[in-house]
Amino acid sequence: MTTLDDFFGLRGRVAVVTGATGRLGQVMAEALAVAGATTWLVGRDQGRLDALAAKLPGDCRAARCDVTVDEDVAALGARLRDEHGRLDVLVHNAHVGKGGSLRTSKPSDYREAADLALGAFQRLLDATRPLLEAADGSPSIINVASMYGVVSPKPHLYDTPEAGNPPYYGAVKAGLVQLTRYAAVELGPAGIRVNCVTPGPFPGDGGDRELVARLAQQTPLGRVGDAAEIATTILYLASPRSSYTTGTNVVVDGGWTIW
């Protein structure tokens, strides 16, 4: 009899989640760990990573790494090579959130955002490509973009222009969607799949209730997302059961971008 583990189990596989201590990063890492993967939690704060590793089930390992620093990413790749000799799942989720508008943005903001989304992807790929190629069972790269890489923020939802999503964030997330397509074409012959997940409104608990209510009204479902609702999409794309899916952008936004 076929079991759920036969469909989505990741036992014996190795996964990396960048931005692991973030609200969505935590549930992504948990989903991979529960499925049986040895899951490396990557971020800038070792203390937060250690605390998360202790909280999550399964084999989770904390690895401090700034994905904008060449030496850090190279060291991460070396650790993965020495300990496993392979990498099956790479989730590129690193993100720094802040508000802004065209009035307040600077050219340096665009450069920093591009380095975190696009430059970091290249660093991670350079450091792990041989490990992905060494894996069997349809290795998977998953980029995490944003609905604001598909549509523009609606200024009237926010109390001030500077409280909204900054222009450079959506610009680089749109670039990440295109980079996903490009990488899927180049890496496909090696059997490496590259896909993208585009989350919608996932504001989390403890935020501005009035803002959350306004965001909820923008979706056909009439609500914002719960972080757990991103987990199954990540698990599907990480699993060999999605072995014929590459170059796609899976939008998980409650319908925000359809109208």
Would you name the residues annotated as active-site residues?
A: 169
φ and ψ at 158, to 5 degrees?
A: -110, 150
For residue 51, the number of C-alpha atoms closer than 13 Å in the C-beta half-sphere is 6
- CA torsion, ordered 7, 227, 114, 98, to nearest 10 deg: 180
Tokens of 99: 């508000």
Nearest CA among 107, 11, 4, 16 for reference residue 60: 16
Residue by residue, DSSP assigns 222-253 as SSPPPGGGGHHHHHHHHSGGGTT--S-EEEES
Residue by residue, DSSP assigns 215-230 as HHTTSTTSSPPPGGGG
DSSP assignment, residue 159?
A: S
**Contact criterion met (CB below 8 Å) for 95 and 22:** yes
Residue 102 CB neighbour total at 10 angstroms: 9
As a 3-state breakdown, the chain gives helix, strand, coil percent values, each rounded to 5, of 50, 15, 35
DSSP assignment, residue 26?
A: H
